[in-house]
Structures are given as structure tokens and as C-alpha cells.
Chain A
Amino acid sequence: GQQLNQSPQSMFIQEGEDVSMNCTSSSIFNTWLWYKQDPGEGPVLLIALYKAGELTSNGRLTAQFGITRKDSFLNISASIPSDVGIYFCAGNYNNNDMRFGAGTRLTVKP
């Protein structure tokens, strides 16, 4: 199957710092999405990307669809304690099968 490699696995940062995480694949995806999961809850969509090279922001979050269509990046600026959670990338392999990365666990120290 189409596997997504997400890194880093975990991050421990100080409040106010910027965060970067990325996702790569050996195959081309048509859509990249980024989700956040809070403890005990299901993932919630943060950003969706539809075109190679696309750069999209949602508040302090910015994500990019890699030009090769095999990778995507998520940046969080000026982190705050409520940014804590697990961030997942997802690639739309075909319309019926979306593949997820293993997640980046973010801890923000006040």
C-alpha cells in the first residue's frame, strides 16, 4: 500500500517557539490534508491542500503541498499550550482510500 512517512515522531518545545513537521511518500498524492487529534477525541481537519506548490494558512498554521506531490509540510508559529496534541498528515491515494501518517506528538511547555 501507499505509505506516508511522517517526522518527527515527537517534539518537545517551549511556548512561543515555531514548529515544523513533514510528511513524505514514495508515491504521488492528489490531495494532502493535515489533522490534529486531542486526547480522547477523533482527528479534526486543520488544512487541506489540492495543488502542487500550494501554500495555505489557517491562523498560526501554514501548510504546503510539495512541488513533487510526494511531500507536505506543516508549520505552527508562536506555539501555545493548546497546540498540544498529535498531528497527522493524510494523503488522498484515491477517492476511497485516504492514507495517514503515524503522527507527530507535540508537547508545549509553558
Chain B
Amino acid sequence: NAGVTQTPKFQVLKTGQSMTLQCAQDMNHEYMSWYRQDPGMGLRLIHYSVGAGITDQGEVPNGYNVSRSTTEDFPLRLLSAAPSQTSVYFCASRPTATNEKLFFGSGTQLSVL
């Protein structure tokens, strides 16, 4: 089992560029989410999805879009990157919205210049 797979591992963008961070899970989990990790701030929830076709905002959604067309995939889109979005991004999934045990991907380190 691959678990939660994120690509790319590293990315450098210029301010204003757009890009998509990919996330896929092969565990048939209903719930998927995106977090960003910044020094001294822990992990903060950006967006989440409780199932295919359903997405919702988390704690820090501004500047990010998501979609959930399949159970397996949950891409995160930055439409116009800003230096404040420099961070490490983690995708995570869990079996259902009521099961608290999150499984994390290995992260994407993003730098916006």
C-alpha cells in the first residue's frame, strides 16, 4: 500500500504563478484534507473533503482552491502564488469524517519568491 502520495516533493514559484499540488490515496478513505505547516504554528487546516464531490473550507482557506472529483484524488490549487504561501504542505486522509486517525503524506515544500 502506498498510502497517501504527494507530488511534487519540492517546488519553487515566482509571485503570481499558479500551480497544483497533487494528492492521491489508495486506502479508499472518504475524508481528505490539506494542511500547511509553518514554524512555531503547528499544522493548520486549509480545505477538506468528506467525500467525492464535497469540499469545504478549513481554518486558512484564502488563496487556495480544491476539488474532489474522485475518492482517490484531492488536488490543491494556488491560483496566484504569494510569498506568504511559502510553507510545507501536507495532504492527509482518514477512513471517514468520524474516524479521527489521520494518515499523512510526506509533504511538499513550497517556496514563493
Contact A43/B43 with A97-B58, A97-B59 known, Cβ cut-off 8 Å: yes
Kindly supply a per-residue 1/0 record for chain B positions 86-113, scoring 1 wherever the CB is within 8 Å of any chain A CB and 0 otherwise.
Answer: 0000101000011011111111000000
Binary per-residue interface labels of chain A (46-88) against chain B in the complex, 1 for a CB within 8 Å, 0 otherwise: 0010000000000000000000000000000000000000001
A3 to chain B, nearest CB (A): 9
**Are B92 and A42 closer than 8 Å at their CB atoms?**
yes
The listed residue with most B CB atoms (<10 A of its CB), out of A4, A90, A98, is: A98
- CB-based contact B107/A41 at 8 Å: yes
**Interface size classification for chain B:** 20 to 34
Contacts of B105 in A (CB 8 A): 42
Tell me the smallest distance from the CB of B107 to a CB of chain A, in Å: 6
Q: Are B59 and A1 in contact (CB under 8 A)?
A: yes
Q: From B43, B90, B97, B107, name the one whose CB has the most chain A CB atoms within 10 angstroms.
A: B43
What separation, in Å, do the CA atoms of A103 and B104 have in the docked complex? 16
Which residues of the other chain, A, contact B90 by a CB distance below 8 angstroms?
42-43
23 A-B pairs whose Cβ atoms sit less than 8 Å apart in the complex: A31-B100, A33-B102, A35-B102, A40-B106, A40-B107, A41-B107, A42-B90, A42-B92, A42-B104, A42-B107, A43-B43, A43-B90, A48-B100, A88-B42, A88-B43, A95-B97, A95-B100, A96-B48, A96-B97, A98-B45, A98-B102, A99-B59, A102-B42
17 more CB-based (< 8 A) A-B contacts, given A88-B42, A90-B43, A100-B35: A4-B42, A6-B42, A40-B107, A42-B104, A43-B43, A43-B104, A45-B101, A45-B102, A92-B100, A95-B100, A96-B97, A97-B58, A97-B59, A98-B100, A100-B43, A100-B44, A103-B42
Nearest 10 A-B pairs (CB), nearest first? A42-B104, A100-B42, A100-B43, A102-B42, A95-B97, A31-B100, A92-B100, A43-B104, A42-B90, A41-B106
